[in-house]
Amino acid sequence: MLVLVAPGQGSQTPGFLTPWLDLPGVEDRLREWSADIDLDLVHYGTNADADEIRDTAVAQPLLVAAALVSARQLLPTAEDFSTRVGAAAGHSVGELAAAALTGVLDETTAMGLVRRRGLAMAQAASVTETGMSALLGGEAEVVLPHLERLGLTPANVNGAGQIVAAGTAEQLAALAEDKPEGTRRVVPLKVAGAFHTHHMAPAVSVLESAAAELTVADPHTRYVSNRDGAVVTEGVEVVRRLVGQVANPVRWDLCMDTFKELGVTALLEVCPGGTLTGLAKRALPGVRTLALKTPEDLDAAGALIAEYATTA
């Protein structure tokens, strides 16, 4: 069974969309969305520097746009997707791409919602200097109490020996000086806030208002939620979880447990792929993985889909 996943914030790099613009229709689609959400996705995906695309209000729409245009090169219609992909999920903001790809939201609506999400989270992050750091290695039963003692939140429990801590700049500095026993490294992430923590509570109310205006459908393909790894079958519940997830931890470890229970045999990560396939290689041994980074990966991705496509 093939699982398709969409990465979250921090996976963007300067110019990562440049080669995709050479494909028919991609630049036109990006310019349409740019006009809809008042954000130049082409500029930010090709010419902007690392600091510009680190901005939450920019990074989030950019990542969802990249996920959608890359996935649609391989699975252009809802029927293509639902008959070939056994389950889909996204990490953090990647959940919005997964919601669009599984038919919960149309793509234009998803882009509008992620723009509002990014702006609201950027505003919430501006109140206090906050951030996130990945802890590599270490056991959860040691890491989690250590973070609690420092006042930090385990914002992403990613499995495969990776937990992401979020909090104030001072708390993260203290973590860098006093890492948990067994942790190999503490790596600051390219994000501009303590996402998936109480610091994001103001953004939740903004998204609740936005969500009330949406037209929602039930997913045509299994949708696996960051909240608890559950397969969510009702579109309204998917959107409710998308809103609340802004201020609650991402449980990617539980998502991968669900993939395993569903019988995953292959995992495809859409552009800008790499992070989630890296986690899967460690947590899902024996599962074929492929990260979609540039159009050069499309042939291999198409072959993977052909080999592992499912109608289950």
Which positions are catalytic?
92, 196
Q: What is the 3-state secondary structure (H, E, C) of the chain?
A: CEEEEECCCCCCCCCCCHHHHHCCCHHHHHHHHHHHHCCCHHHHHHCCCHHHHHCHHHHHHHHHHHHHHHHHHHCCCHHHHHHHCCEEEECCCHHHHHHHHCCCCCHHHHHHHHHHHHHHHHHHHCCCCEEEEEEEECCHHHHHHHHHHCCCEEEEEEECCEEEEEEEHHHHHHHHHCCCCCEEEEEECCCCCCCCCHHHHHHHHHHHHHHCCCCCCCCCCEEECCCCCCEECCHHHHHHHHHHHCCCCECHHHHHHHHHHHCCCEEEECCCCCHHHHHHHHHCCCCEEEECCCHHHHHHHHHHHHHHCCCC
Collect contacts of 95-99 with beta carbons under 8 A, ≥24 apart: 95/6, 95/225, 95/226, 95/241, 95/242, 95/245, 96/64, 96/242, 97/6, 97/63, 97/64, 97/67, 97/68, 97/71, 97/270, 98/4, 98/5, 98/6, 98/223, 99/219, 99/223, 99/238, 99/239, 99/242
